[in-house]
Chain A
Amino acid sequence: RKEVEQDPGPFNVPEGATVAFNCTYSNSASQSFFWYRQDCRKEPKLLMSVYSSGNEDGRFTAQLNRASQYISLLIRDSKLSDSATYLCVVNMAGTGANNLFFGTGTRLTVIP
């Protein structure tokens, strides 16, 4: 059983489009949730933390549904620079530290 599951894509969208990514996690006691982006052969970069009430940062909106163990990321008005792999990341409750578990990522390509 995978701790974090994501649709691998690829998602190919035109500039200006709205795109949504979804993710499910297996451990109902998980406490922290994040979206990272990863460019090819680069490190994961924190995009945003995901809070229970949902949160927005500019064109990006993240939602958390604890009952369904589901996390989403919405990107509005896509830019060419948004092309990357988006990683759903969850910490595992019950561990002593903040160990993160990563999904395999969803690849996004924004087309001119």
Chain B
Amino acid sequence: EPEVTQTPSHQVTQMGQEVILRCVPISNHLYFYWYRQILGQKVEFLVSFYNNEISEKSEIFDDQFSVERPDGSNFTLKIRSTKLEDSAMYFCASSGEGAYEQYFGPGTRLTVT
């Protein structure tokens, strides 16, 4: 069964550093998403991406964040200058054309110290 994969599983970084979280969506999917979940809180939408551009972004997705699809398989989330409050689990998800069902990767746990 095809799966969304994410690397790394855990990233520890110092405040102010840049991090790049990587995702490989399901191969024939066209819509890609990033969500985050702060420990003990609900999953929150960050950004959606389709046809090589951002479709929608939330208030959380400010100028510190960017997304990119650098090649045919990877989808990345970059945080330029991390803050303590960026510590969370970041989930990548993907969905196919016309399909509203989203499939999530295992997540990257980001710890900012």
| Bound-complex Cα distance A45 to B106 (A) | 10
Interface size on B, residues (CB 8 A): 24
Q: From residue B110, how far is it (CB to closest CB) to chain A in Å?
A: 13
Interchain residue pairs A-B with the least CB separation, the first 9? A97-B55, A97-B48, A43-B104, A32-B100, A102-B43, A104-B42, A96-B55, A99-B45, A97-B56
| Bound-complex Cα distance A44 to B106 (A) | 8
| Bound-complex Cα distance A101 to B103 (A) | 14
What DSSP secondary structure best describes chain B's contact surface? strand
Binding site for B on A (CB under 8 A): 31-32, 34, 41-46, 49, 87, 91, 95-105
Q: Is the CB of A43 within 8 A of B48?
A: no
Instruction: Tell me the residues in window 61-109 of chain B with beta carbons closer than 8 Å to chain A beta carbons.
Output: 89, 91, 95, 100-107
| Bound-complex Cα distance A45 to B31 (A) | 17
Q: Which of B31, B43, B56 contacts A44 (CB 8 A)?
A: B43
What DSSP secondary structure best describes chain A's contact surface? loop
Write out the residue numbers on chain B whose beta carbons fall within 8 Å of the beta carbon of A95.
56
Write out the residue numbers on chain A whose beta carbons fall within 8 Å of the beta carbon of B48.
96-99
Q: Which of B31, B105, B107 contacts A98 (CB 8 A)?
A: B31
Q: Is the CB of A99 within 8 A of B33?
A: yes
| Bound-complex Cα distance A45 to B100 (A) | 14
